[in-house]
Chains A and B, each alone.
Chain A
Amino acid sequence: MKKWMVLLVVLAAASLFVGVHDLSPRELFAGDREAWEVFLISRLPRLISILIAGSSVSICGLIMQQLSQNRFVSPTTAGTMDWARLGLLVSMIAFAAAGPLVKAAIAVVFAFAGTLLFMTVLDRVKYKDSIFIPLIGLMFGNIVGSVTTFLAYKYDLIQSMSAWMHGDFSVMMQGRYEMLYVSVPLMAIAYVYANRFTIAGMGEEMATNLGVRYRSIVYTGLLIVAVVSAVEVLTVGTLPFLGLIVPNIVTMYYGDHLRKVLPLTAIFGALFVLICDVFGRVAIYPYEIPIGLTVGVIGSGVFLYLLVRRTKQYV
């Protein structure tokens, strides 16, 4: 874990000096005002939002996979993101004058209710094929998504909606990303609850046997997921499949003991998004490939790979 942490720190520091505007550590040390402005208004917020979004969304995926006992469930494949977007849109229509906190709160309610609905359906479905479940989730999500699109057309809000569709860090500047900090204490809570999530992942009966209140653990987990998802959609936009691939790769090598893999998942999530973002920044320099696209392409590729290689002993 230490070496990954070191790698993350080095890359994070280096990423501060990658961008259209030339910026070097020497200028910063020299106290150049313009350099400091670029650094504080744009580069640092961008890095912080990458680190927080990458790690928190990955942790959400890990929690969801654990609670549903299914490797393919994540904020994307369970429709959580779609519900959060619908919630945001509804808040824009119904409470146009409300501040971002109120909007986020409404998105949280939608994301929580939608994910809970999905989990309830999952509980009832007898046919527990691990592929079948996320397909239901994706379908669910698409239905919700089309409702959102319909409403957006009707109320002429398509433009603001597209901002939540594709994740983009280039707009992360001072004043736009601060809400992401909400995710930090949530990650800490997730770590405190890690053992309980693992136990809940053993099923309701085993959890009860060990004296754990299964229902309340599931609700706690889903609430964390809903808040992180809503905040992410509102600030960065969607990072598709992130919550699916990062936890899957980590647990493939390190197992499902959450106390152990949760910090690793956070580091890998941040690292993965950081690499994708830096790649997006330099690939067609001086233009940028939005992060949603990079993560989505790499993510769906890895998702396909996981589907194909799913062997009996792993899934």
Chain B
Amino acid sequence: MVEVKQVLKRYGGKTVIDRVSLSVPRRKLTSLIGPNGAGKSTLLSMMSRLIPKDGGEIWIEGKEIARYRTEELAKKISILKQSNHIAARLTVHELVSFGRFPYSRGRLTRQDRDYVREAIRYMELEPLQDRYMDELSGGQRQRAYIAMVLAQDTDYIFLDEPLNNLDMKHAVQMMEVLRKLVDELGKTIVMVMHDINFASCYSDYMVALKDGAVVCEGDVSSIMRDEVLRGIYDLDVRVQTIENRRICVYF
């Protein structure tokens, strides 16, 4: 269970996250949406202890985040930021193996190797596993990072704009994979999404942030409405139902 209570973040004198409370539904795919500067990434970074919070509490499985040892937390949540691009020359297999570091501290057991192999298989990276990361395309690289997170085997997976830099085909593939992680493996995923329609088609739950506060949250049908989205984005949008999916038209 991940519970955010009255969390606060200030940069200089400016409050970027203003007493946000949120409880993340388990075994669901949750999208954080909202305009630029709403504080989505900041919130996600605090929820994964990448940056400290200035107030409030974040409870993860019955323990406040600040009271966790960082090694211990690495077995419960994993986070991928949009800025993750690794300069080091590592092969896909080496990268994915580092996902086991929280467990093995570098000495891979047979069980660790099984996890790595399984993660690589699941992300269909077997033919690429001995290639260096810098030789891969953007979509393949993104898949390798997800495989690493899979090897990390955490119940909670936080992703900051996982579709960044992916073309339509790869974006769809990525979302299908994330869907499978939730439906087949029972993972809880929280991700920052920019494309409202991808969020609409693939998430179970949506949380809208604006000016550092949650303006509304609920399942897709309650968020994907004209008046709700207009309030979030200050834009004259229309939501149409096409093939049973709610699509937001904003042109």
Judge whether A301 is part of the interface by a CB distance below 8 angstroms. no
* Partner among A69, A213, A259 whose Cβ is within 8 Å of the Cβ of B106: A259
Task: State whether B88 touches A211 (Cβ < 8 A).
Answer: no
Q: Mark A195-207, 1 if CB is under 8 A from B, else 0.
A: 1101101110110
Task: State whether A255 touches B90 (Cβ < 8 A).
Answer: yes
Judge whether B94 is part of the interface by a CB distance below 8 angstroms. yes
**B-chain residues with CB within 8 Å of residue A202 when the two chains form the complex:** 84, 86, 88, 98
**A-chain residues with CB within 8 Å of residue B78 when the two chains form the complex:** 209
Interface residues on B, range: 20 to 34
Instruction: Kindly state the separation between the CA atoms of A166 and B25 in the bound complex, as whole angstroms.
Output: 65
Task: State whether B90 touches A210 (Cβ < 8 A).
Answer: no
> Nearest B residue to A211 by beta-carbon distance?
B74
Within the complex, the shortest CB–CB distance from B193 to chain A, in Å, comes to 19
- Which interface residue of B48, B49, B73, B88 has the most chain A CB atoms within 10 A? B88
Judge whether B247 is part of the interface by a CB distance below 8 angstroms. no
Task: State whether B81 touches A205 (Cβ < 8 A).
Answer: yes
**A-chain residues with CB within 8 Å of residue B50 when the two chains form the complex:** 205, 208-209
Instruction: Kindly state the separation between the CA atoms of A176 and B93 in the bound complex, as whole angstroms.
Output: 46
Instruction: Kindly state the separation between the CA atoms of A251 and B89 in the bound complex, as whole angstroms.
Output: 8
Task: State whether A256 touches B89 (Cβ < 8 A).
Answer: yes
Judge whether B122 is part of the interface by a CB distance below 8 angstroms. no
Judge whether A257 is part of the interface by a CB distance below 8 angstroms. yes
**B-chain residues with CB within 8 Å of residue A211 when the two chains form the complex:** 69-75, 101-102
Judge whether A66 is part of the interface by a CB distance below 8 angstroms. yes
Task: State whether A208 touches B81 (Cβ < 8 A).
Answer: no
Q: Among residues 28 to 76 in chain B, which have CB atoms less than 8 Å away from a CB atom of chain A? A: 48-50, 69-75
**A-chain residues with CB within 8 Å of residue B86 when the two chains form the complex:** 201-203, 206
* Partner among B88, B91, B98, B135 whose Cβ is within 8 Å of the Cβ of A210: B98
Task: State whether B89 touches A208 (Cβ < 8 A).
Answer: no
Judge whether B83 is part of the interface by a CB distance below 8 angstroms. yes
Task: State whether A195 touches B74 (Cβ < 8 A).
Answer: no
Task: State whether A199 touches B70 (Cβ < 8 A).
Answer: no
Task: State whether B90 touches A256 (Cβ < 8 A).
Answer: yes
Judge whether B185 is part of the interface by a CB distance below 8 angstroms. no
Within the complex, the shortest CB–CB distance from A178 to chain B, in Å, comes to 33
**A-chain residues with CB within 8 Å of residue B72 when the two chains form the complex:** 211
Within the complex, the shortest CB–CB distance from B219 to chain A, in Å, comes to 29
**B-chain residues with CB within 8 Å of residue A251 when the two chains form the complex:** 89
Judge whether B188 is part of the interface by a CB distance below 8 angstroms. no
Judge whether A212 is part of the interface by a CB distance below 8 angstroms. yes
Within the complex, the shortest CB–CB distance from A308 to chain B, in Å, comes to 19
Task: State whether B101 touches A195 (Cβ < 8 A).
Answer: yes
**B-chain residues with CB within 8 Å of residue A256 when the two chains form the complex:** 88-90
Within the complex, the shortest CB–CB distance from B47 to chain A, in Å, comes to 12
**B-chain residues with CB within 8 Å of residue A120 when the two chains form the complex:** none
> Nearest B residue to A209 by beta-carbon distance?
B79
Instruction: Kindly state the separation between the CA atoms of A251 and B50 in the bound complex, as whole angstroms.
Output: 29
Judge whether A159 is part of the interface by a CB distance below 8 angstroms. no
Judge whether B134 is part of the interface by a CB distance below 8 angstroms. yes
Known: A211-B72, A256-B88, A313-B134. A205 touches B79 (CB 8 A): yes
> Nearest A residue to B79 by beta-carbon distance?
A209
Instruction: Kindly state the separation between the CA atoms of A259 and B105 in the bound complex, as whole angstroms.
Output: 13
Task: State whether B84 touches A205 (Cβ < 8 A).
Answer: yes
**A-chain residues with CB within 8 Å of residue B80 when the two chains form the complex:** 209
Task: State whether A257 touches B74 (Cβ < 8 A).
Answer: no
Task: State whether B70 touches A255 (Cβ < 8 A).
Answer: no
Within the complex, the shortest CB–CB distance from A251 to chain B, in Å, comes to 6
Within the complex, the shortest CB–CB distance from B66 to chain A, in Å, comes to 14
**B-chain residues with CB within 8 Å of residue A66 when the two chains form the complex:** 88
Instruction: Kindly state the separation between the CA atoms of A313 and B135 in the bound complex, as whole angstroms.
Output: 7
Task: State whether B94 touches A199 (Cβ < 8 A).
Answer: no
Instruction: Kindly state the separation between the CA atoms of A208 and B79 in the bound complex, as whole angstroms.
Output: 9
Within the complex, the shortest CB–CB distance from A314 to chain B, in Å, comes to 8
**A-chain residues with CB within 8 Å of residue B81 when the two chains form the complex:** 205
A-B contact sample (9 more), CB < 8 A, given A198-B90, A209-B74, A211-B101: A194-B106, A199-B98, A208-B48, A209-B48, A209-B80, A209-B152, A212-B71, A213-B70, A256-B89
Binding site for A on B (CB under 8 A): 48-50, 69-75, 78-81, 83-84, 86-91, 94, 98-99, 101-102, 105-106, 132, 134-135, 152
Binding site for B on A (CB under 8 A): 66, 69-70, 194-196, 198-199, 201-203, 205-206, 208-213, 251, 255-257, 259, 313-314
Residue contacts A-B, CB under 8 angstroms, 6 given: A198-B90, A198-B98, A205-B81, A212-B101, A255-B89, A256-B90
